Amino acid sequence: MADVVQYRLERMVDELDDLERRGIFSRAEISEIVKQRRKFEYRLKRPSPLKQDFLAYIDYESQLDELRRLRRKAVSFQSGEKKKKKKSISDYAGVAKIVEIYRLATRRFKGDINLWFKYLEFCRQKRNGRMKKVLAQVIRFHPKVAEVWIYAAAWEFDRNLNVAAARALMQNGLRVCPNSEDLWVEYLRMELTYLNKLKVRRVALGEGEGSLVRDQKSVEDEQWKDENKELFMSLDDKEEKDKDGSDVDDDDDASERVDVFKEKGSNVLQAIYGGALEALPSSFDLRRRFLEILEATDLAHSDDIRNTILSDLKRDFSSDPEYWNWLARNEMSGCLSVEFANPQMQKAIEVFEEGLQTVTSSSMFEMYIKFLMEPIERSNGDDSSGEFISHLISVYENADGTGCLTEELANDYVSLYLKLGRTNDALKLVEKLCSGKFAGSAKLWLARVSIETRSLSSNATPSKVDLQSAFDLLSNALKNVPIAESESLWLTAFKIFAQQKKYFDKLVEMSILSVAKGNNGSDPLFSLASVVVKLVLRAKGIHRAREIYKRFVALQRPGLVFYKDCIEIETNLASQGDKDSLRNARKLYESAVASYSQDVELWKDYYSFETKMGTSETANGVYWRARKTLKESADFVVGEMDFDEELNLCTTKGKNIDPSCGEGSSTTSPRSMKKMRNLDHRPKPYFSFSSSSSSNSLGAFPFHLDPTFQNQQLGYVPVNQQHDQKQMISFSPQQPQQQYMFKYWSDTLNLSPRGRRMMMMNQESIVQPYSATKLYRGVRQRQWGKWVAEIRKPKSRARLWLGTFDTAEEAAMAYDRQAFKLRGHNATLNFPEHYVNTEVEVHDSSSLDQKQTQTQQPNEVNLENKEVAVSDGGLEEGMAEAWFNAVRAGWGPESPLWDDLDSSQFSQSSSSCPMKPFF
């Protein structure tokens, strides 16, 4: 990677020298440019560069090239040179660099069409001669994208003025993408534009007049002149020319030549329309766009073509309400007056009436009503809108009579009466609708309640009769409307009867019955129980609210939102020191997890609650219950911040961990001190090792303070001293708990922030022995996992190769054998205890190997099966080796984790300390 980056930077030397020689950039600025380019080049050469890396590099080079261009102008202006200098390499290098980055980006992200279009736009703006090549590449990679063919044809037509190439591209695109509406429309526009250019060229040569583009103003002027020609006087010159027949003949010949282009355009439109109709027979939008193009151009037989398209539309889309809506609005095109008596308005209304007879549907009525509402809203309540309003009401009545009145239309119907101030008519209508097909409509019931309870809101002391009638109306509405849609009704009812204790209690009882009756096991978005509990809490206090929510909890699955709201209420009170609230919050959590046992967020909230409000024992219990209950237990991962807060809370509660001895110490609670010192009863939420022999990974952290503690935590089975047999140490996989284990042990060992970060970085790595370069002298590891040993001779300092080994221990022993052979007792060895009272032997290495094999430790480590066998009589030595092989990568001498260990923790006897080789 570095060689490639350096090669690319060296290719920029000529450009940078030229920039400095011409005074465009200084030496410091060029150094900064090299620094930025090196950073971007390394980003592009990494294994998986991102598209943002390429775009950021392109943006930087574009800004740099723009700055170079401005500096160049400034330098030439200051020097007073009027003649343009010959362009040098720095003038081309910026654009070439951007093109190269685009080439690399598109080669890696071939499927990103937006990136290709950015590349095309850059080439079009800079005009660097690569446009054709890039277009060919885009078409090759994205032949099914119609916009690519359109872009290529437009470039050939506008830039290269190559009509044949543009036509060929369009036709090839239509063969590949026959179902693209845009491609058919753009092809027609291109052909008509080409004919219009030819006609304008003839006009410029004096052989004709006008163009194929229809000018709407000139058409209207000609029509007005024809209608009022008696107001104009003819000139004498014109009359003389009329008498003379030569000029008339010339005009006839010119009109015939002009009609050739109109005929050609008409033929082209008919041909393309036929092909498009065959490819897309069910596209309404395509025919509408063709009709718009026809109306914007002046072609021969345009009226006949227009009638043909309209007849095809009516034949194929007469059952589509969208067609009638478009046809009616098309009649109003160009109409400036919105009066009801306007002929165009009447024609549009006739089209809608014809559409209702053909398609009697609610969507047709919605479009018709929306069309009539537009002039009413535009008139702002003037007298001119009276006819529209009366006609609109008749349309509503027609929709109601035909059964096409939807809930939205009915609500708009009632709102129209209310806007007009016709309250009685609105009340009659809403009573009719609520007692009919819209008995379950919450909006209509709410409108009826708002109309009938206006007297209650205006009167400060309503009578009992009015209150009873309002309560009966609301009761009827709440019984008919489903509970999931009745949020506004319940809120309105509680708002009206907030000060009426009798009716308020009745509403509460009704809500409990409604929840019990409408509970189908699902959780609706609207939680009636939550609303009722909050209102009762506000009106009656916490004791009454607890009575109410306990009745809701007794129901079957009252809703997760309800549980969370009640827990929030109790938690807020518990934070103020209310012990009853803490107990009630736990009961609510227990009820919630019993009903929603697979909700991960609920378990996380429960764990967070116990972390903040409870003790470490209760939090650990919730954690392990969640791990056992959840089917997807891997999703239950508590964040790092939550664990830090838990440790801080444990510290404030008197459960400080003393790094010098690893035991719990308390300053406020003797009971907590007792629990921390009694390691048998200490909670184990962060790690759990089993003694089974089948495991997938080794344990992560050792701990040697008490042999009984180590035996219990690491699943170590003590060796029976009376029988000469091997016992196995095994570790069960607990990968999801690794982060908690890291946090726990890092705090226990009082590690520095650097050591803690290093542990967290290695928590996902595979457990492997630490690199031998940090543990054993003369040993290093290959990239593929093998271990090699070598030593230098004392006198010549020549390197002596000792061989390749499967484990680091074997390589270290080979080094010790050769070092002891060369230097004797003065040698620095990896395992000096193996050579105590050993004489230096000078015979061959085979005997030395045999002797060394006899002096090896009786312990055997099997990393493949992740088991450590300990022989009889080697308990402490086997534990030390098992501990060493279980340490993750990153532990050992000269590591930040190792430096943070306090040696006072391991001040016990050497026979029981597992870190004996390093101290």
Residue 832 sits at the vertex; the CA angle it makes with 828 and 838, to the nearest 5 degrees, is: 105
pLDDT at 141 over 60: yes
Residues 748-759 have a mean pLDDT of 60
Q: Is 93's pLDDT higher than 80?
A: yes
Q: Is the pLDDT of residue 918 over 50?
A: no
For residue 711, the SS3 value is helix
For 441, residues 6+ apart whose C-beta sits below 8 A from its C-beta are 407, 410, 411, 433, 434, 481
Per-residue pLDDT at 860 exceeds 70: no
Residue 382: per-residue pLDDT: 66
pLDDT at 905: 38
Q: How many residues does the chain have?
A: 919
Residues 6+ apart with CB under 8 A from 550: none
pLDDT of residue 156: 92
* Exposure of 102 in the CB half-sphere (CA atoms within 13 A): 25
CB of 711 closer than 8 Å to CB of 728: no
pLDDT for the residue numbered 756: 59
Backbone torsions φ then ψ of 893, nearest 5 degrees: -60, 150
pLDDT, tens digit, for every residue of 622-680? 888 888 888 876 666 665 444 444 444 444 444 443 333 333 333 333 333 333 333 33
d(CA 439, CA 509): 23
Here the tokens at position 469 are: 């009638």
pLDDT for res 664? 36
| pLDDT at residue 172, as a whole number | 95
Q: What is the DSSP string of 222-271?
A: HHHHHHTGGGS---HHHHHHHHSHHHHHHHHHHHHHHHHHHHHHHHHHHH
* Mean pLDDT of all residues belonging to the chain: 74
> Does residue 596 sit in helix, strand or coil?
coil
Pairing of strands 727-729, 867-870: antiparallel
Q: Enumerate residues 6+ apart whose C-beta is below 8 A from 413.
A: 396, 400, 405, 429
Rounded Cα distance between 149 and 173, Å, is 6
Pairing of strands 727-729, 787-792: unpaired
Tokens of 72: 């160049």
CA distances, 526 to each of 499, 505, 538 (Å): 24, 21, 19
Whole-angstrom Cα Rg for the chain:
45
Q: Return the sign of the alpha-carbon dihedral for residues 336, 339, 341, 347.
A: positive
The DSSP secondary structure of 361-397, one letter per residue, reads: SHHHHHHHHHHHHHHHHHHTS-GGGHHHHHHHHHHHH
pLDDT score recorded for residue 236: 46
Q: Which residue spans within 524-658 are E strands per DSSP?
A: 656-657
Q: Is 70 exceeded by the pLDDT of residue 919?
A: no
- Is pLDDT at 714 greater than 50 in this prediction? no
Tokens for 786, please give them: 């093998």
Counting residues of the chain whose pLDDT is more than 90, the rounded percentage is: 27
The count of other CB atoms within 10 Å of the CB of residue 585 is 25
- Sheet with 867-870, edge to edge strand ranges: 727-729, 867-870, 860-862
Burial class for 88, CB neighbours closer than 10 Å (0-12, 13-18, 19+)? middle
Of the listed ranges 546-550, 899-903, 913-917, the one predicted with least confidence: 913-917
Q: Residue 146 — very low, low, confident or very high, per pLDDT cuts 50/70/90? A: very high
> Looking at the predicted structure, is the pLDDT value of residue 895 above 70?
no
Q: Tell me what pLDDT residue 613 has.
A: 86
How sure is the predictor about 520, in pLDDT bands with cuts at 50, 70 and 90? low
Res 885 pLDDT > 80: no
Residues of the chain by 3-state class (helix, strand, coil), percent to 5 = 65, 5, 30
pLDDT tens digits for 404-440?
A: 999 999 999 999 998 888 888 898 999 999 988 888 8
- Tens digit of pLDDT for each residue in 781-840? 887 778 899 998 888 888 899 999 988 889 999 999 999 988 888 888 888 877 866 665
Is residue 138 within 8 A of residue 148, CB to CB? The reply is yes
Q: Which ranges of 575-599 would DSSP assign to H, the alpha helix? A: 579-595
Cα 20 to Cα 31: distance, rounded to the nearest angstrom: 11
Cα separations in angstroms, 99 against 18, 37, 49, 479, 520? 20, 15, 18, 71, 63
State both tokens at 314: 């009516």
Q: Does the pLDDT value for residue 772 go beyond 60?
A: no
Q: Select from 498, 570, 563 the least CA-distant residue to 536.
A: 498
User: At CA 779, angle to CA 754 and CA 814, rounded to 5?
Assistant: 145
pLDDT of residue 529: 85
Per-residue pLDDT, 216:
54
Q: Show the CA angle centred on residue 324, arms to residues 323 and 329, nearest 5°.
A: 100
Q: Provide the pLDDT confidence category of residue 133 given band limits of 50, 70 and 90.
A: very high
Question: What integer pLDDT is reported at residue 362 of this predicted model?
Answer: 92
Residue with more model confidence, 693 or 762: 762
Mean pLDDT of 231-237: 46
820 touches 838 (CB < 8 A) = yes
pLDDT tens-place string over residues 341-400: 888 888 999 999 999 999 999 999 999 999 998 888 887 766 667 888 999 999 999 999
Region class of 797: left (phi > 0), else alpha (psi between -120 and 50), else beta: left
CA 810 to chain centre: 52
pLDDT at 460: 60
Contact 823, 794 (CB under 8 A): yes
Q: Between 257 and 788, whose confidence is greater?
A: 788
Q: Is the pLDDT of residue 218 over 60?
A: no
Those residues whose C-beta lies under 8 Å from the C-beta of residue 822, and which sit 6 or more positions away, are 791, 793, 794
Write the DSSP assignment of 736-784 as a string of letters: GGHHHHHHHHHHHTT--HHHHHHHHHTTTSPP-PPPHHHHSTTEEE-TT
**Helix-helix angle 362-379:321-331, to 10 degrees:** 30
**Residue 189 confidence (pLDDT) above 80:** yes
Tokens of 617: 């024992």
pLDDT at position 238: 41
pLDDT tens digits, 286-342: 999 999 999 888 888 888 999 999 999 999 999 999 999 999 998 887 776 678 888
